[in-house]
């Protein structure tokens, strides 16, 4: 698939740009802001830069809205802030010569991971078949993606407002944060699974690897799992939050 090779080349070039920027700033936080843009790059490569059909136009538009919103929010949030504690831990673990190693373990890794998770997008822009259930399932996929964008936006906005007045060590438990510890990740999952459902109408079932991989990473690897390894030491009250509140999927608190 030449489209995949093009997507890999452009993603790696974008990752290289981010790495050079991180060297100038001595801070790799920029990779978080780049994450959603990798998917836009991949979608453009899969689409051959050709005119889009109705479904492709809707999916691509939603993808761009999600990417711009998330990138803008993360750029604002991380502006003039020190490197995230997750990356500080990685920096210590892979020192010395972290500056060189970060190109591969952070930026190339993110580019390739985003390309794998973008797999369903390939079939949306290059359909191999259609389904009798297309008229039912495709609107459901749109609804999931839109709800994911809205839910993630609400979570980020509520956390942003909370941080303006929070006290040291205080944990956000207001709004959607009262129902899960990582509601923004729940929004991400709705988007990824919505894209999968849309693509399933046009591709093979093995594109299931993409949303499953994203779910694993958010729960166990680079998302909630990695973040909560250190947050308890910085916020003692977070242990109570863990015991009373679901990790990602919203649910009424236990007490």
What are the pLDDT digits (tens) for 237-246?
Answer: 788 888 899 9
pLDDT at 240 (0 to 100): 87
Q: Which domain holds residue 152?
A: 130-255
Do residues 148 and 240 both lie within one domain?
A: yes
pLDDT at 49 (0 to 100): 67
pTM of the model: 0.92
CA 128 – CA 224 distance, rounded (Å): 36
CB 118 within 8 A of CB 7: yes
What are the pLDDT digits (tens) for 28-84?
Answer: 999 999 999 999 999 999 998 678 889 999 999 999 999 999 999 999 999 989 998
Do residues 161 and 102 both lie within one domain?
A: no
How crowded is residue 233: how many other Cβ atoms within 10 Å of its Cβ? 9
Do residues 148 and 195 both lie within one domain?
A: yes
Of 102, 126, 150, which residue constitutes the final position of a domain?
Answer: 126
Do residues 143 and 175 both lie within one domain?
A: yes
pLDDT at 132 (0 to 100): 54
pLDDT at 192 (0 to 100): 97
- The answer to whether residue 109 scores a pLDDT higher than 80 is yes
How crowded is residue 222: how many other Cβ atoms within 10 Å of its Cβ? 14
Do residues 217 and 105 both lie within one domain?
A: no
Distance (Å) of CA 59 to CA 35, 62, 131, 185: 18, 5, 17, 20
Do residues 57 and 11 both lie within one domain?
A: yes
Of 66, 100, 126, which residue constitutes the final position of a domain?
Answer: 126
Do residues 183 and 109 both lie within one domain?
A: no
Lowest mean pLDDT segment, chosen from 130-134, 180-184, 221-225: 130-134
- The answer to whether residue 91 scores a pLDDT higher than 90 is yes
Do residues 151 and 94 both lie within one domain?
A: no
CA 189 – CA 225 distance, rounded (Å): 15
Helix (H, G, I), strand (E, B) or coil at 255: coil
Helix (H, G, I), strand (E, B) or coil at 59: helix
**In whole angstroms, what separates CA 182 from the centre of its chain?**
12
Do residues 113 and 143 both lie within one domain?
A: no
pLDDT at 51 (0 to 100): 81
Alpha helices by DSSP H, the chain: 2-25, 30-46, 54-78, 85-93, 98-102, 109-117, 119-125, 134-165, 183-200, 209-220, 224-234, 238-244
Tally of structural domains, the chain:
2
Of the two residues 169 and 59, the one the predictor is more confident about is 59
Do residues 98 and 173 both lie within one domain?
A: no
CA 140 – CA 191 distance, rounded (Å): 11
Do residues 8 and 70 both lie within one domain?
A: yes
Q: Return phi, psi of residue 191, to 5°.
A: -65, -50
What are the pLDDT digits (tens) for 122-166?
Answer: 999 988 776 656 778 899 999 999 999 999 999 999 999 998 888
Cβ contacts of 63 within 8 Å, gap of 6 or more: 39, 40, 43, 121, 195
Do residues 59 and 25 both lie within one domain?
A: yes
Of 99, 126, 153, which residue constitutes the final position of a domain?
Answer: 126
């Amino acid at each position: 698939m030449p489209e995949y090779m093009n997507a890999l080349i452009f993603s790696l070039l974008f990752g290289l740009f981010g790495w050079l920027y991180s060297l100038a700033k001595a801070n790799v936080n920029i990779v978080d802001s780049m994450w959603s843009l990798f998917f836009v790059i991949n979608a453009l490569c899969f689409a051959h830069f050709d005119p889009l059909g109705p479904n492709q136009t809707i999916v691509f538009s939603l993808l761009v809205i999600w990417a711009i919103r998330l990138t803008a929010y993360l750029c604002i949030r991380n502006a003039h802030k020190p490197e995230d504690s997750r990356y500080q831990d990685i920096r210590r673990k892979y020192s010395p010569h972290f500056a060189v190693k970060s190109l591969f373990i952070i930026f190339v890794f993110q580019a390739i991971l985003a390309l794998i998770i973008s797999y369903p997008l390939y079939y949306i822009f290059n359909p191999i078949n259609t389904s009798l259930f297309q008229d039912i399932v495709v609107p459901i996929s749109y609804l999931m993606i839109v709800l994911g964008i809205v839910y993630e936006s609400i979570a980020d906005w509520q956390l942003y407002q909370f941080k303006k007045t929070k006290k040291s060590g205080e944990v956000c438990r207001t709004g959607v944060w009262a129902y899960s510890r990582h509601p923004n990740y729940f929004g991400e999952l709705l988007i990824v699974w919505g894209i999968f459902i849309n693509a399933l109408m046009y591709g093979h079932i093995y594109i299931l690897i993409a949303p499953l991989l994203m779910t694993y990473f958010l729960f166990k690897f680079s998302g909630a799992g990695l973040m909560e390894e250190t947050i308890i030491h910085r916020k003692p009250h977070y242990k109570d939050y863990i015991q009373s509140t679901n990790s990602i999927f919203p649910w009424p608190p236990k007490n």
